[in-house]
Amino acid sequence: MSDPIISRGFFGRRRDAGPPGRVPPGQYVTHDFPVLSAGPTPRSPQEHWSFEVRGAVASTRRWTWAEFRALPRVEVTVDIHCVTKWSKLDTRWAGVSVDTLLSDVAPAGEYVVAFCDGGYTTNLPLSDLTGGKAWVVDTYAGEPLEAQHGGPARLLVPHLYFWKSAKWVRGLEITMSDDPGFWEAAGYHGRGDPWREQRYRGD
């Protein structure tokens, strides 16, 4: 990286830098939980909700809301990092590990597109969703996940920028190629690793 330009007279408040090593470069810590969606909030009634794993798999798997809720559940506490620069530490979620959803699936592709109510999509390598790195969560801070924050259920992939943690998720499509999702097609980075500050295409 070339020498940054020093901003004459800038000192900064330095209250938002967070504990050393916890906060990726360019981020500040917030105690709020901002909402940043590109359109209106979808509202999905539970009786019509389902979650699918489909695409390059031997057979499609599908769960109704009741079936999803009956799967083995976990609670996780993770830091989350939004590409718009805020990070939120120690967020508490509950839901189902993606490993559980993919067990017995035998995916034949190496990529995934998460698809959602309202048409949102995001793409990830399958390896970023497996091995205890991702969940489909329906509970935040002990309460049912609010619609604005992605309820009834969203993907949670905390090691990547939070746009990959797709709100209103309805399923995972296993794909053979890495197909850009909504923000990826709108100029954001394909992978989105906050520790390498992969915010925008070309980073």
Partner 1 sequence: MNTLVLDVPGWPGHHAGQHVDVRLTAEDGYQAQRSYSIASAPATAHLELTVERLDDGEVSPYLTDVVRESDVFELRGPIGGYFVWLPHLRRPLALIAGGSGVVPLMAMLRHRAAVRVAAEVAPARLLYSARSADERIYNAELERLASEDEDLRVAYALTRTQPSGWTGYRRRIDRAMLQDVIWPADAAPLIYVCGPTAMVEVVATELVELGHPAPAIRTERFGPSGKP
Binding segment (CB under 8 A) for partner 1, from list 28-36, 44-52, 56-64, 150-158? 28-36
What is the pattern of x (binds partner 1, CB under 8 A) and - over residues 152-181? Answer: ------------------------------
Residue 6 binds to partner 1 (criterion: CB under 8 A): yes
| Nearest partner of 174 among 132, 113, 128, 98, judged by Cα | 113
Rule CB under 8 A: say whether 30 interacts with partner 1.
Answer: yes
Residue 152: cis peptide before it, omega within 30 degrees of 0: yes
Contact 145/153 with Cβ under 8 angstroms? yes
Q: Cβ(149)–Cβ(35) under 8 Å?
A: yes
Task: Name the one residue in this structure whose structure tokens are 């709100």.
Answer: 167
* 32 lies in the binding site for partner 1 (CB under 8 A): yes
Joined together, the tokens standing for residue 141 give: 């801070």
Task: Give Dmax (Cα) for the chain.
Answer: 62
| Nearer of residues 41 and 64 to partner 1, judged by Cβ | 41
28 makes contact with partner 1 (CB under 8 A): yes
> Applying CB under 8 A, which of residues 18, 33, 52, 191 lies at the interface with partner 1?
33
Contacting range for partner 1; rule: CB under 8 A; set: 8-16, 95-103, 123-131, 168-176: 8-16
CB 56 within 8 A of CB 96: no
Lookup: tokens for 195:
């520790």
Which of these, 31, 33, 138, 28, lies nearest to 76 by C-alpha position? 138
**Near partner 1 by CB under 8 A: residue from 63, 157, 182, 198:** 182
Q: Does 18 bind partner 1 (CB under 8 A)?
A: no
Where along the sequence are the contacts to partner 1 (CB under 8 A)? 4-14, 16-17, 26, 28, 30-42, 84-85, 118-119, 141, 148, 182-183, 185-187, 200
